[in-house]
Amino acid sequence: MKDLHGKKVAALLSGGVDSSVAVALLVEQGVRPDLWYIQIGPERDQTDFTCTIEEDLEMARAVAAKYRLPLEVIDLHHDYWEKVVDYTMTQVRQGLTPNPDVMCNRLIKFGVFDERVGHDYDIIATGHYAQTEEEEIAGRISEGLISDNPDSGNPKCGAEPASNRKVTWLCTSPDPVKDQTDFLAQLQPWQLQKACFPIGHLSKAEVRAIAEREHLSAARRKDSQGICFLGKIDYNDYIRQYLGEQPGQVIDRETGRVLGLHRGLWFHTIGQRKGLGFSGGPWYVIEKDLRRNILWVAHGYDPIAAYSDHFFVTAPHWLTMDPFVYYGVNGVDGLNGSNGQNGTNGTAGVSDGQPSLAVTVKIRHTPDFCPATITRQPDGRLEVHTERPLQGVAPGQFCVIYDQQRHRCFGSGEMRV
């Protein structure tokens, strides 16, 4: 965990076991954080929708009382719906698969919260399963450093940095099942520098053991599931309320046979197998044709058509610095003055005249990493070739890019096929 001596710390408390233990560990280190509960949820006039806000707050108040820490509630409901829900609906309407939890971290928990009150703090601590580490860098790498100016929108620095500069990397949790770096890979560099993840070095079992030891109310509380703003709301019901239905044909790609009708392409995602409702299955969703409003499917328990080992990443977002520069493949020396390798064993080269880099990737929240090669295209996109075909490459979802050791997270970008 970061050295927090003399730092003013805000801890975001959700009422769950992870954030509760994060607070316990901060207190154990002699830190007395201010506790904040961010209130978001269904629209206030949605009386038929249930949410866990009251239960969450009860758990949060219990933690505050136990450690005699101040707890404030900040209502970011309007901001969430204006930013994250609007993003979600825009993506869905375009036939893409959104990831609102990724954008919630960037835009709300480390975004609007900082604008409102977080700017008064040196550190914002959360209960995410992730770690950070610092590295002192030097050399001709100014074009790879990402600006730490919160108003910069993630451009590269224009000025040469000092000969030695300390940067912050986002790193994976030792618990591969719970690792949440994929949800944090769109943070701005200045947000990452302020972030602290007290439980990031622990497994879920260890977190629950600490909660039991500390007699925390949330010790045996179940983990939350699904999209953060929906609570217990059914996702399809919510989409239907906003976008309605738009029936179209469902067609077997191999035979051309019409299986029936879908109620709207926005109810489906690439790689989906459950909930299609057609006999003779299983069926996998492999393509959404927006122009003709056709849902294309493939038959079988593991159809080849459901897999891909080649796709593109649009507008890659780097958390700390451009990895092509870090590994010395962009016409700039690497950190050790090398051209192709550095201290983290990254392998760089050229593919079809374009810079390429060996990495590992994730395309969904899963413990599985896949070795891959990313090649920078002249238009700024990344071409990704994975070592093995991946099931369900869904346009709109994020491809998260890590080093070969599956340790450092470089950043992410939306996938296209």
Residue 337: CB atoms within 10 A of its CB come to: 11
- β-sheet bridge partners, residue 397: 395
- Is residue 228 annotated as part of the catalytic site, yes or no? yes
* Contact call for residues 106 and 191 (beta carbons, < 8 A): yes
Six-digit token string for 354:
């374009």
Catalytic choice (104, 171, 370, 409): 104
- Is residue 399 annotated as part of the catalytic site, yes or no? no
* Cα distance between residue 53 and residue 354, in whole Å: 50
3-state class percentages of the chain: helix first, strand second, coil last, to nearest 5: 25, 30, 45
Catalytic choice (196, 228, 399, 409): 228
Q: How far apart are the first and last CA of the chain?
A: 39
* Contact call for residues 103 and 111 (beta carbons, < 8 A): no
- Which is nearest to 313 in space by CA: 376, 378, 402, 355? 376
Q: Which residues contact 132 (CB under 8 A, 6 or more apart)?
A: 2, 168, 169, 170, 171, 192, 195, 196, 197, 200
CA 192 to chain centre: 13
- Which is nearest to 124 in space by CA: 62, 191, 68, 77? 191
Residues forming the active site: 104, 228
